[in-house]
Amino acid sequence: MPDLELQLREDRMLRNAARALVTADIAHLKREMDPESPAGPDLTSRARDLADDTRDYVSGHRFQVGAVVAALLAAIALWLFREPLAAIVREMLADEEDGEDNMEQAGDDDRSLNEQELPAETQA
């Protein structure tokens, strides 16, 4: 029983410490986002600078960015259609295995002869 009470106290202390950190982070973000605070214009100017840098990079590297966008769109399309594509692949693999089984069955008849069953004149 004392172990449970000790564990409960420790858990409560950890919870309260985590709550204090989250509350402090929220207060800090509110101060930064307030347009009247001294940090407010700084935040918007940083966002504008980032947008300008991004625009400059994209205009200078159109083909590289286009390739990345195309790869991203292809990945999204594959993700969205993963179940139908997986079903198609499974069906193709099953058909291929069925075809191999049929080939083996047909081949068993042709290759079932061995040297003992051959006539004496064909054996060397």
72 or 1, which is more confident:
72
Distance CA 25, CA 31 (A): 10
**Between residues 97 and 54, the one the model is more confident about:** 54
Higher confidence at residue 98 or residue 47?
Answer: 47
Task: Please determine, for residue 42, whether its predicted confidence score (pLDDT) is greater than 90.
Answer: no
User: What pLDDT shows up at residue 2?
Assistant: 76
Q: Is the pTM of the predicted complex or chain greater than 0.75?
A: no
Residue 78 has pLDDT above 90, yes or no: yes
The two tokens of residue 17 are 């410490």
Please give the Cα distance from 97 to 93 (Å, whole number).
6
First and final C-alpha spacing in the chain: 91
